[in-house]
Amino acid sequence: MAAQKNSVDLQQNRAHSARIYDYFLGGNDNYPADREAAERIEKAIASVRGVARGNRTFKYPAMVEGTVQAYRRAESRWRRAITAESPISSVIWRCWSPGSSRSRIGMRGRSPPRPG
């Protein structure tokens, strides 16, 4: 079978670290070469499966926390940029931003306070 012009060679006959990691986690995206290499690694380092699982257990909460922190930093930059334009924008930001003590329902029928 001739190789297509844009095809990718997965090199299934050679072990790859990502597929070996997948094998340690009990995944299905690995090939015999990966399983053989993983078994050799397991003979040398008996705790490697537990380490891989511990790594996976740590990675998800760390990723979520990093995302939350990045969002908070971005929100802070947005707030500073918006409020630098006009004094009234800081009042609007405080009234309408997520987590504000005044919600949209609480502001219904009332205008934001005037500066000064």
Residue by residue, what is the 3-state secondary structure of the chain? Answer: CCCCCCCCCCCCCCCCHHHHHHHHCCCCCCCHHHHHHHHHHHHHCCCHHHHHHHHHHHHHHHHHHHHHHHHHHHHHHHHHHHHHHCHHHHHHHHHHCCCCCCCHHHHCCCCCCCCC
Mean pLDDT value across the chain = 78
Give pLDDT tens digits for 52-67.
999 888 888 888 888 8
Q: What pTM did the predictor assign?
A: 0.52
In terms of average pLDDT, the best of 49-53, 65-69, 73-77 is 49-53
| Tokens read off for 17 | 């670290």
pLDDT at residue 105, rounded to an integer: 46
